[in-house]
């Protein structure tokens, strides 16, 4: 057969045939289904937030938010727990962010592709999947027993660092790998050193994605309980409810929420539980939004336009 022969013409009019109609119907159906799936996420979040406010909003009084917790009687507050949540969060970020950034920079910018790099990535990914309760037991053995620190904010923060470091390192590495090589070439091409290139071009270009990674980690730290129960303890500092010494017990809000629902003997468990849950939710939302706004502003300052 002559392969150059013109095939017979199949379309004789401009009106859509039944085959075209079926394909267009499938196209429209797919669009609707995908839209519904995507919208359901927004709907779920909205429903969840509304429900949390519904059950918890009435308990959010100044006495509850800023008050001290009670051991046995009704009417306890959660002031020190909120403080401890932020305290441990900040302490953890102080450890996690620089190490994760440095490790991510090393992996992406310095390590040659090969055995060592693969081993580091494999180790990080394995570490990232360790259940937080296991990491909590590890923290118990090392910080509480071996170092004889007892339950401390520092021990809790270090355990959370171990828990989150691998993930943040991978996020940093991914963020750096998304920076096009053409930026590096342009910088090196006018005589910048590798370090200048990383510091002035690569990191500023990756800051948006890195901020997102830090926000996600921070959300996990806020909500973490299992790793903290065995390391930071189930009570607030005995010296002062707002203790700045990292070597004292530091019960966070998430741990307090778990504790009141399981171990506590106070009569108003529902009030404290629902109220705490709402405060925790608001804290995470506020942190998330402000970190995004801050990250965007930082990105705009560094790059001249929002990321």
Partner 1 sequence: MIDSPALIATSQKLVATDVDIYYGAFHAIKSANLNMKENSVTALIGPSGCGKSTFLRALDRMHDLTPGARVTGRILLDGEDIYAPSADPVVIRHRIGMVFQRPNPFPKTIFENVVYGPKIHGETNQAKLTEICERSLRQAALWEEVKDRLNRSALDLSGGQQQRLCIARVLAVNPEVILMDEPASALDPIATSKIEDLIGELKSEYTVVIVTHSMQQAARISDNTAFFHLGEIVEVGTTNQIFTKPREKRTEDYITGRFG
Q: What is the CA radius of gyration of the chain?
A: 26
User: What is the rounded distance in angstroms from the CA atom of residue 195 to the CA atom of residue 108?
Assistant: 13
Size of the site for partner 1 (CB under 8 A): 24
User: What is the rounded distance in angstroms from the CA atom of residue 31 to the CA atom of residue 117?
Assistant: 42
Taking CB under 8 A as the binding criterion, the range among 52-60, 74-82, 177-185, 274-282 that sits at the site for partner 1 is: 177-185
CB of 205 to partner 1, least distance (A): 5
Per CB under 8 A, 303 contacts partner 1: yes
Taking CB under 8 A as the binding criterion, the range among 46-54, 156-164, 183-191, 274-282 that sits at the site for partner 1 is: 183-191
CB nearer to partner 1: pick between 78 and 201: 201
Instruction: Name residue, tokens 């006495």.
Output: 63
Among 13, 18, 19, 112, binds partner 1 (CB under 8 A): 112
Residue (of 133, 137, 83) closest to 245 by Cα position: 83
Per CB under 8 A, 183 contacts partner 1: yes
Per CB under 8 A, 184 contacts partner 1: yes
Per CB under 8 A, 187 contacts partner 1: yes
CB nearer to partner 1: pick between 34 and 186: 186
Burial classification of residue 256, based on how many CB atoms lie within 10 Å of its CB (0-12 exposed, 13-18 middle, 19 or more buried): buried
Site string for partner 1, 220-259 (x = CB under 8 A): ----------------------------------------
Per CB under 8 A, 191 contacts partner 1: yes
CB nearer to partner 1: pick between 131 and 180: 180
Taking CB under 8 A as the binding criterion, the range among 132-140, 158-166, 199-207, 256-264 that sits at the site for partner 1 is: 199-207
CB environment 226-236: b (16+ within 10 A), e (fewer) = bbbbbbbbbbb
How far is C-alpha 105 from the geometric centre of its chain's CA atoms?
Answer: 20
User: What is the rounded distance in angstroms from the CA atom of residue 191 to the CA atom of residue 184?
Assistant: 11
CB of 287 to partner 1, least distance (A): 26
Residue 87: which H helix or E strand, with range? helix 79-105
The SS3 assignment for 301 reads helix
Task: Enter the tokens of residue 224.
Answer: 């973490």
Query: Where on the chain is the footprint of partner 1 (CB under 8 A)?
Result: 112-113, 180, 182-193, 196, 200-201, 204-205, 302-305
């Amino acid at each position: 057969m002559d392969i150059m022969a013109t095939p017979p013409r199949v379309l004789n009019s401009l009106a859509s045939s039944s085959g075209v109609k079926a394909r267009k119907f499938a196209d429209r159906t797919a669009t609707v289904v995908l839209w519904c799936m995507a919208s359901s996420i927004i709907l779920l979040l909205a429903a969840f937030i509304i429900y949390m406010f519904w059950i918890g909003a009435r308990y959010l009084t100044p006495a509850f938010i800023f008050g001290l917790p009670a051991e046995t009687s009704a009417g306890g507050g959660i002031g020190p727990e909120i403080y401890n949540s932020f305290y441990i969060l900040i302490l953890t970020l102080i450890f996690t962010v620089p190490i994760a950034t440095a490790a991510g920079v090393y992996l992406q910018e310095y390590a040659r592709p090969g055995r060592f790099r693969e081993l580091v990535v494999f180790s990080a990914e394995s570490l990232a999947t360790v259940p937080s309760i296991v990491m909590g037991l590890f923290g118990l053995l090392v910080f509480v027993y071996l170092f004889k620190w007892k339950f401390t904010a520092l021990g809790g923060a270090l355990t959370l660092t171990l828990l989150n470091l691998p993930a943040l390192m991978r996020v940093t590495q991914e963020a750096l790998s998304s920076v096009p090589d053409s930026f590096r070439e342009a910088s090196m091409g006018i005589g910048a050193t590798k370090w200048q290139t990383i510091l002035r071009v690569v990191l500023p270009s990756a800051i948006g994605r890195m901020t997102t990674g830090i926000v996600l980690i921070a959300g996990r730290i806020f909500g973490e309980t299992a790793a903290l129960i065995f390391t930071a303890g189930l009570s607030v500092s005995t010296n002062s409810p707002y203790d700045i010494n990292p070597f004292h017990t530091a019960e966070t809000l998430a741990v307090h929420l778990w504790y009141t629902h399981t171990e506590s003997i106070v009569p108003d468990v529902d009030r404290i539980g629902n109220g705490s849950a709402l405060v925790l939710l608001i804290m995470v939302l506020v942190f998330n939004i402000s970190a995004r706004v801050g990250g965007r502003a930082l990105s705009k300052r560094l790059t001249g336009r929002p990321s």
